[in-house]
A and B are shown apart, each in its own frame.
Chain A
Amino acid sequence: MSAFVLLFALAIVSLVIHKLSILKSISIVTLIASSALVLLHFSTPLSGFTSSAAIELFQVLLFTVISAVIISEDEHINITQTLFITAASVLLLESSTLLTFIISFEALSIISFVLVSNIKNAKQAEGAIKMFISGSIATAIIVLGLSMYLLEGHSLNALIDAKMSNFAIVGIWIIMMGLFYKLTIVPMHSWAADTYAQIKPSLAATLSGVVKTVVVVATFKIFSPFILNNITLSMPILALLALVTMTLGNFLALWQKSVGKILSYSSIAHAGYMLLAFVAIQSKYASTALLYMAVAYIFMQTSLFLLLDKLSDGRGDLSLDNLKGLYSKDKFASLIFSIELFSLAGIPLLAGFLGKAILVYAVVDVNLIFLALFTLLNSALSVGYYAWIIKHIYFDKAEGKNKISRVSNTALISQLILLSGTLYFGLFAYNIFEVAF
């Protein structure tokens, strides 16, 4: 909790000093200090919040990614919001009762709305509004589910009860459906496809890379006992949702022209992959698989959206044709872009490959051979559109004057941080294998 206190204090202070140029450096130092606090187990116990080795590891990696986001961010107001999001993420990751979980989740959602409300043009307004409306509905759904759960006499200030009436079970399912809005699981996904592609890509990096991953890990932590208790029902439903989500995401990404749209749909498809860990919850590899996928995903997705932000100068309206000839213009950015895309596609020696591999392993472990097969087919399909982007970057000549901007050196530093994460976790798996949830 001490990391939360530190980050929250910094976020409040940053409201005062956000005109000063030292905000960025102070934020980085604070994030490093928070990582140290987490690693040294320097925590103030608070009821409703617990931590574990996996959560601590994930928090440190989260702070690393947030540092990269902040390094690459130019607007101070966005840095402030990002700090608030980080604080809320720490709360969400550590929450251990339904009540603290829902409150942290709502805090995270509301700050997300504030983050995207830094609107510059009509398109961004559309994206922000869509997210706001869908988010409101999701909150309403969650509250509906909570009320059903409460009506059956269960307490919010505890873990989900093992023994429940059918009415309460339906309530929990409704809460989960509300959460799936943030996870962009079909049918709660459609806002994401538009919002991620329309808002400023650096904000999309925070939303789709950081916030989504945090919610996935926290949801897994809180809801896995419930899913395990109702395995006969949850396995088919979640398997179907995972399958539909990844298939829809991959197919819709396949013929898109805009890079932002492709990344949005790929993000949806990855939500489908991560849901596989919930499906394979009986396997002892499920938690490792989810954590690995989350770690791999947080690095590669954040990196890609941040790079898109820099290449499009914050507009995010790059089409595939605009990427032509990027290689001759900026070799370093092309290389990073390609490596992160390969990682998303699941090419060996990169983090994305191991994440997917362990997920599929877990799915096979619970004897869902066909689901594993469809996952692999989906993964193969997804290589199609990732390779298509790389083809445009490397092998096509620029037509006329392209509107790509150069990636600044500070942005490259942040990219290198994210890249090293992608490479490190592609090669050294044991860090994640050894931690327990």
Chain B
Amino acid sequence: MNIPIIILIFLPFIGSVFTFIVGKIYKKSAFICAYIISIILFSLTVYICISFTQALSFDLEWFSFGNITLPFGIYIDELSLVMLLIATGLGALDIHFSHDYMADERDQARYYSKVLFFIGGMILLVSAKEMLGLFVGWEFMGLASYLLISFWHQNSSPADAGVSAFLYTKFGDIFLFASLGIIFYTTGTLDMIKLNELSSSGEINSQVAYVVSIFIFIAAIGKSGQFPLFPWLMRAMEGPTTVSALIHGATMVNSGIYIVARMFDFYVAAEALVVVAAVASLSAFIGATSALVQNEMKKVLAYSTMSHLSLAFIGLGAGSLAAGMTHLINHAIFKALLFLGAGAVILSAHHVKDLWRLGGLKNRLILVSIFMGMGVLSLSGIPIFSGFYSKDAIIASTLLNPETHGLISTLTIIAALLSIAYAGRLWTLIFVGKPRDEELHVSIKAPSKFWISLPLGVMATLTLALGVFQKELAEFITAEKYHELHVNGLFTFMMGVILVLGLIIYYFYVRRTDLRDKISAQPLMKSIHQILFNGYYIEMMINWFAKSIIVNAVAKSINWVEKNIVDAFINGVVTVTHLSFTFLKHTHSAKVSNQSGAMMLGLMMIVATVLIRSFL
């Protein structure tokens, strides 16, 4: 195994421990340490990328027991490379950004070591050859996500949000673990490349493959915040914004899409892609509509993350690996940009996240407003920005695939178009118009150019530049010639609607704010607003189901059985054993004559048995 890859896999974990120890001794050194490690990781990835000629594959063994061997191989191909670049590149930018954002934090060592641990988990996940390694990375990331969401665990709401994230994702993880077991039992291998080949050649029972793909997809739903397991993603915004950017915007939430993309042939063979597309289109719609009415800027971004991840899922579900994966990459970059931009605003505005208290920040945060504006344009799918190309490709692929043409494609188009509405609304409310909180407005100062604006600028440039290289990117990932999907009139239609939506936003949020307030005061609009604001009450439904069905009905009846049947049985055992003891005690006499008598009696009984048996 070559050395860069060994370092790439082990350095984050070693570095995490090292950072923690060093940071405990001298506070400032935690950042330096983490920064250097993240840059080393990124350089290594770039090095591997440059020297990449063909897929690197290493067969390693975790342990073997009898004739069962658990492999733990490393496999790095184009898909993994792209994910590695995102994880380490955005990770380095994120740590760079954290220098100012987390400057006031007292426990720096803990923060940076957790972030490095997270990056390590992501690297492990995307470079695993077998599902086992993938699962380990998956769980490491889940743990890191939990630890980072509840980073400010002294307060109750981040702590609760962490637990909620842990429970929601863990619910999905159980299914991933189950699918591991099923696959290993039926095929005897966990190698994902081999599984793709086996399923393509039809050697895996199609029903088993279908169940396994659905199970894996349930895990992906949990991790990527899709319907119905998305409420944790919204609550995860309690964590530091840098964490939201890295984990809940750009990298970890992508792992669900990655696993489906990695096993794409398996999904094709199992004919499970349409399920992926269906569930994803529903979540895209829910995410996009709910994002329209949120008051907190991070919540807007969270719902838009959910909606855009769904778009990537839809791309995969419609059968276009290239569309799904390019959108994943584009999204990772512009969403990290938007999250970090929001972080810059939050940092300058003394941790105010409410959109209705901001406004008119354009003049004070000019660089941030420009870079965030580029992110908004990319997210909305405006041409020449990268978001446009992948989004267009996804919509085209849903329209061209007969299975997804219809309801799924309609929901997708609505979700894709609405992104201009919520992103435009977000940007407008923050940067344009009159300041709504004068006192706050006066106190806002422009953040550091090097530590804050530079990473935003890098990402904004990237999202613009990637627009040019969409075709090359798609060809690199899929390793085949890219055929551009074309639907007549789609471009004109999209641009028309985007223009109309842009004008509506401009009219209601800048020109006639009084009219907007009047409309939203209508009872009907109010109730729609409530439904959208609460994310269609999905979290409430899940809580109700968990409480009244699982706790009150199932758990309580099991408890009754435990108390009245199992415990009673166990208590009965004590009585019975005591009775047996008092009975058996009579067999033991302390008198040696009785003992000898017993010996002779026993001897005679056995001899009699032998005699009877042998002479009969």
Residue of A nearest to B583 (CB): A251
Contact of B614 among A141, A187, A233 (CB under 8 A): A233
Is the Cβ of A134 less than 8 Å from the Cβ of B596? yes
CB within 8 Å of A: which B578-616 residues: 578, 580-581, 584-585, 587-590, 592, 594-596, 598-603, 606-607, 609-611, 613-615
Report if A252 contacts B (CB, 8 A): yes
Taking the closest CB of chain B, its distance from the CB of A263, in whole angstroms, is 15
A53 on interface, CB distance cutoff 8 Å: no
Known: A174-B607, A186-B602, A187-B603. 16 other contacts (CB 8 A): A134-B592, A137-B599, A166-B615, A169-B614, A170-B614, A174-B603, A177-B603, A187-B599, A190-B594, A190-B598, A237-B609, A248-B584, A251-B577, A252-B581, A252-B584, A255-B581
Instruction: Say yes or no: is A188 at the interface (Cβ < 8 Å to chain B).
Output: yes
What is the 8 Å Cβ interface bit string for chain A, positions 378-394, against chain B (1 contact, 0 not)? 00010010000000000
Interchain Cβ contacts under 8 Å between A and B, 9 examples: A137-B600, A138-B599, A173-B606, A190-B588, A191-B595, A194-B590, A237-B609, A251-B580, A251-B584
A105: interface (CB < 8 Å): no
Main SS class of interface, B: helix
Does A222 sit within 8 A of B, measured CB to CB? Answer: no
Complex Cα distance, B610 from A181, in Å, reads 19
A41 interface contact, C-beta 8 A: no
Chain A: which residue is nearest B602 at the CB level?
A187
Q: Annotate A177-200 by CB proximity to B: 1 below 8 A, 0 otherwise.
A: 100010000111011011000000
Of A134, A141, A181, A233, the residue contacting B613 (CB under 8 A) is A233
- A-side interface size class: 20 to 34
Residues of A within 8 A of B613 (CB): 233
Interface centre among B590, B594, B595 (most CB of A within 10 A): B595
Report the Cα distance A254→B590, complex, angstroms: 18
**Does A133 reach chain B (CB closer than 8 Å)?**
yes
Q: Are A170 and B578 in contact (CB under 8 A)?
A: no
Report whether B588 and A177 are in contact in the complex, using a CB–CB cutoff of 8 Å. no
Shortest CB-to-CB span from B589 to chain A, Å, is 7
A149-186 with Cβ < 8 A to chain B:
166, 169-170, 173-174, 177, 181, 186
A76 interfacial contact with B, CB 8 Å: no
Between A190, A233, A384, the greatest number of chain B beta carbons within 10 A of the residue's beta carbon is seen for A190
Q: Identify the interface centre among B581, B589, B592, B598: most chain A CB within 10 Å of its CB.
A: B592
Q: Verify A134–B595 contact, CB threshold 8 A.
A: yes
For A98-129 the 0/1 string (1 means CB < 8 A from B) is 00000000000000000000000000000001
Inter-chain CA distance A190–B598, complex, in Å, is: 9
A191-B592 contact in complex given A233-B613, A251-B580, C-beta closer than 8 Å: yes
Across-interface contacts of B598 in A (CB, < 8 A): 187, 190
Known: A194-B590, A251-B584. A166 touches B614 (CB 8 A): yes
Is the CB–CB distance between A170 and B607 below 8 Å?
yes
Contacts of B592 in A (CB 8 A): 129-130, 133-134, 191
Chain B residues with CB under 8 Å of A138's CB are 599
Q: Report yes or no: B589 in contact with A190, Cβ–Cβ below 8 A.
A: yes
Q: What is the chain A residue whose CB lies nearest that of B598? A: A187
Given A174-B607, A251-B580, A252-B584, A188 contacting B599 (CB threshold 8 A)? yes
Q: Which residues of B contact A191 (CB under 8 A)?
A: 592, 595
Contacts of B615 in A (CB 8 A): 166
Q: Give A238-269 interface residues, CB cut-off 8 Å to B.
A: 248, 251-252, 254-255
CB of B370 to closest CB in A, whole Å: 64
What is the bound-complex CA distance between A186 and B598, given in angstroms?
Answer: 9
A166 and B611 within 8 A (CB): yes
Q: Look across to chain A and name the residue whose beta carbon is closest to the beta carbon of B611.
A: A170
Within the assembled complex, what's the spacing in Å between the Cα atoms of A237 and B607? 11
